[in-house]
Homo-oligomer: A and B are copies of this chain.
């Protein structure tokens, strides 16, 4: 969507320096900005290059506003956040036109709200419900009795197993699998594994984003839950019965065994592994590749844990240093 500097600034509750009728039609990095682009500046180091860039306007902190520059400026408190919001505003009109592609296969008992997009070859199962403004990408398979809220975006080739529920404004990237069977067996007297029932559900809250090829299992008998605002990267695995809190961040390739509890505001870096029934309490930060054993509880808002088994960062670094010193002595 094209928008004037003034309109963008009003949306951001900012203040414009310079002429405010210039037209913006997108965001860019300073290095790639061309005419019509908006950029942002967070510190003095990037200011000079921003001024020399081809950008039409820049978002700045008040700090820089006393200078006299030739660029149009939108002055705000948090340039990065304002930039993110401006980007959403400028892209909002790019949304797909609603409509159901003739090659999509929609069950006659599915309930579709207004303004929905169903792309080519998507399959929507019996009694599934899709909310207003949601887009189901090409090749997605939405199982029976699935419920998807409004303004969601499912990229292509996503599979949603029967009975899964998604809230509003959920983004699911390509190839993700939601609501698959958990990994549970009972060994019989002959030593063979028999499947334990995986008949629970998966519920995903509002404003969650799920990365490409990530897999989230349904509960065995209960419900796997992903809390509002959680952000989950690519190739993450979340096992059955996990309870993920609100505003949790999980980076790529992290894996959660069954029945793990992650409280609100936890941050997990990439390739972390968590054993069954572990609990990560509010605000904990788990470093990349760290391993949290089964049944373990990690506690401490803002505390960074590292290593396997995960321990406070300071302890971890001290152990590394001791080992390094001993090895050098030899």
Contacts and interface: CB of A to CB of B under 8 A. Distances in A.
Given A237-B234, A237-B252, A288-B275, A159 B174 contact: yes
Contact of A156 (B28, B88, B141, B188): B141
A48 interface: no
Copies of this chain, how many?
A: 3
B193 A80 contact: no
A25 interface: no
Contact of A249 (B185, B213, B324): B185
A257 B235 CA distance: 13
A137 interface: yes
Interface size on A, as a range, is 35 or more
Interface string A200-212: 1000000101011
Nearest to A209: B195
Contacts of A28: 221
B138 A141 contact: yes
* Residue from A28, A78, A239, A308 whose CB has the most chain B CB atoms within 10 Å: A308
A78 B187 CA distance: 10
A81 interface: yes
Contact of A197 (B27, B120, B291): B27
A234 B186 contact: no
12 contacts: A26-B199, A29-B220, A78-B188, A120-B123, A138-B141, A141-B174, A159-B212, A177-B212, A235-B235, A257-B270, A289-B291, A289-B308
